C-alpha cells in the first residue's frame, strides 16, 4: 500500500569543510544517528558526491550505496537546485549567479547555460544508475524581474518567456524521460516557476510533459499567502517530491509579502524549524497520504533563529510523528454485513 517514506534530510545546508560534514561517511553517520533514513543529495560537491562519476560508472554508484548502507541509509533524490537555476538566468543576475558556475564559463551566459544543461542530463543518468525515480531542482528565471507588472509589461513578454524556458527544458525533460525519472521543480520565489499558475503556464509550454513535476514545499506557499493545502488537492498528480519545511507569515503595519529588504529575523515572512512556524503538517501528511504520495518526506532545515544542529535533531522525530501507516480496512467494517444481491434489492424496495 502506498504511503510516505521518511524521515529524510536535505544535505545542502549542512555540508561544510568541518568534520563530520566534510565527507559522505561523516554526514551519513551523523544523519543516521539522528534517526534519518535517507539523504537528499546535492551534486555540486564532488568530494561528497561526484555527479560525473555517478553518471558514468555503475561501480561508483554501488560504492556510494554501500557507504550509506553501513548506516541504514539510502538516497531519496539527487538535487541540482543550483544547476537548474543556471539553466535560465536573467542578465540582471549574471554576476550573482556566476558565483555558482565553474571558472571556465563565468562571464559567458551561453556557455553557463550549456554547462547547466549538461549537468541536468548527467543527473538523469546518475539517478537511473542509483535506482532513483525522482529528481529535485529549480527552473531558473528569465521573467522574475517582471513578476510585478509595473512598469506595465509589454504585450507577449510572459508568453515569450515561457516559450524560451520550455525550449531550454524540453531536451532535459526528454533525457529524464529516457531514464524514467521525474523532474521535480521546487516552486520558489526567484524562479519562473514559483506558484501553481506559473507551473501551469510551463506545463502548457512543454505540452504537459509527463516528467515535468513538482517538489512540494509549503513554506514558499505560506509566504506568498497561498492555499498550500488546496494546492495538494489541485496538483497532487504532479507532486513527486516533498520538502518538510516550516514558516511563519506575520504581516504588520509596515511589512507584508514584499519584505525582502529586511534581514531574515525582521521579515514578516520567515522560515522556521519544524514545529516552530504556522504550517499545518497534520493536514499536509493526511492529504498526501490520501492521494497516494509514496515519496520521501525530506527535512529542509532553514531557520532564522534556531541552530541547524538543533533543527536537525528535532526534525527526524517530528517527521516520524507525522508519517501515516495507511489503514487497509474501513474503521466501520466490523458492522458491515456480507454482500447479498437479493438482500440489497429487498432493502431498496426492488
Residue with cell string 568530494: 47
CB 202 within 8 A of CB 139: yes
Average pLDDT, integer, range 268-282: 98
Classified as helix, coil or strand, 130 is coil
The per-residue pLDDT for 57 is 98
Contact 274, 285 (CB under 8 A): no
Q: In whole angstroms, how far apart are CA 194 and each of 141, 188, 310, 336? A: 10, 4, 29, 47
C-alpha span between 271 and 249 (Å, rounded): 9
Condensed to tens digits (0 to 9), the pLDDT of residues 10-67 reads 999 999 999 999 999 999 999 999 999 999 999 999 999 999 999 999 999 999 999 9
d(CA 123, CA 135): 8
| 120: phi then psi, degrees, rounded to nearest 5 | -65, -40
* Per-residue pLDDT, 328: 82
SS3 content of the chain, % helix, strand, coil (to 5): 45, 15, 40
Residue 186 DSSP class: E
Distance CA 269, CA 263 (A): 11
The C-alpha atoms of residue 19 and residue 171 are separated, in whole angstroms, by 39
Pairing, β 269-272 against β 246-249: antiparallel
Give residue limits of the domains in the chain: 5-347
Quick one: three-class SS letters along 152-191? CCCCCHHHHHHHHHHHHHHHHHHHHHHCCCEEEEECCCCC
pLDDT in the model for residue 122: 98
Going by pLDDT thresholds of 50, 70 and 90, the confidence category of residue 68 is very high
> 195-206: string of b/e by CB count within 10 Å (b at 16+)?
bbebbebbbebb
| 47 three-class SS | coil
Contact partners, residue 280, CB within 8 Å, separation at least 6:
229
Q: Place domain 5-347 in its CATH homologous superfamily.
A: Divalent-metal-dependent TIM barrel enzymes (3.20.20.150)
Confidence bin at 275 (pLDDT 50/70/90): very high
pLDDT (tens digit per residue) in 303-338:
999 999 999 999 999 999 999 998 888 777 777 767
CA–CA distance, 13 with 326 (Å, rounded to integer) = 32
pLDDT digit string, tens, across residues 133-185: 999 999 999 999 999 999 999 999 999 999 999 999 999 999 999 999 999 99
Across 295-299, average pLDDT: 98
pLDDT of the residue at 144:
97
Question: Does residue 342 register a pLDDT over 90?
Answer: no
Amino acid at each position: 500500500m502506498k504511503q510516505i517514506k521518511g524521515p529524510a534530510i536535505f544535505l545542502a545546508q549542512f555540508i561544510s569543510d568541518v568534520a563530520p560534514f566534510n565527507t559522505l561517511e561523516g554526514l551519513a553517520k551523523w544523519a543516521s544517528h539522528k534517526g534519518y533514513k535517507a539523504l537528499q543529495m546535492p551534486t555540486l560537491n564532488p568530494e561528497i558526491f561526484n555527479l560525473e562519476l555517478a553518471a558514468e560508472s555503475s561501480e561508483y554508484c554501488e560504492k556510494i550505496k554501500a557507504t550509506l548502507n553501513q548506516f541504514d541509509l539510502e538516497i531519496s533524490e539527487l538535487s541540482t537546485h543550483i544547476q537548474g537555476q543556471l539553466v535560465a538566468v536573467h542578465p540582471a543576475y549574471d554576476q550573482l549567479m556566476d558565483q555558482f558556475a565553474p571558472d571556465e564559463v563565468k562571464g559567458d551566459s551561453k556557455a553557463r547555460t550549456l554547462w547547466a544543461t549538461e549537468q541536468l542530463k548527467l543527473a538523469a543518468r546518475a539517478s537511473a544508475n542509483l535506482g532513483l525515480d525522482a529528481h529535485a531542482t529549480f527552473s531558473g528565471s528569465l521573467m522574475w524581474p517582471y513578476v510585478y507588472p509595473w512598469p506595465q509589461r509589454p504585450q507577449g513578454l510572459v508568453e515569450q518567456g515561457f516559450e524560451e524556458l520550455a525550449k531550454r527544458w524540453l531536451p532535459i525533460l526528454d533525457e529524464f524521460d529516457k531514464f524514467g525519472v521525474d523532474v521535480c521543480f521546487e516552486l520558489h520565489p526567484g524562479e519562473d516557476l514559483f506558484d501553481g499558475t506559473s507551473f501551469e503556464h510551463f506545463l502548457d509550454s512543454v505540452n504537459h510533459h509527463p516528467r515535468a513535476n513538482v517538489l512540494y514545499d509549503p513554506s514558499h506557499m505560506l509566504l506568498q499567502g497561498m492555499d498550500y493545502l488546496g494546492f495538494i488537492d489541485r496538483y497532487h498528480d504532479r507532486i513527486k517530491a516533498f520538502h518538510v519545511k516550516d514558516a511563519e507569515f506575520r504581516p504588520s503595519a509596515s511589512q507584508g509579502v514584499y519584505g525582502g529588504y529586511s534581514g531574515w529575523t525582521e521579515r514578516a515572512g520567515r522560515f522556521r524549524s519544524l514545529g516552530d512556524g504556522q504550517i499545518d503538517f497534520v493536514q499536509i501528511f493526511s492529504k498526501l497520504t490520501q492521494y497516494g504520495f509514496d515519496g520521501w518526506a525530506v527535512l529542509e532545515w532553514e531557520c532564522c533563529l534556531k541552530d541547524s544542529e538543533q533543527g536537525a535533531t528535532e526534525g527526524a522525530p517530528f517527521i516520524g510523528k507525522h508519517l501515516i501507516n495507511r489503514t487497509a480496512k474501513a474503521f466501520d467494517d466490523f458492522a458491515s454485513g456480507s454482500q447479498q444481491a437479493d438482500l440489497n434489492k429487498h432493502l431498496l424496495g426492488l
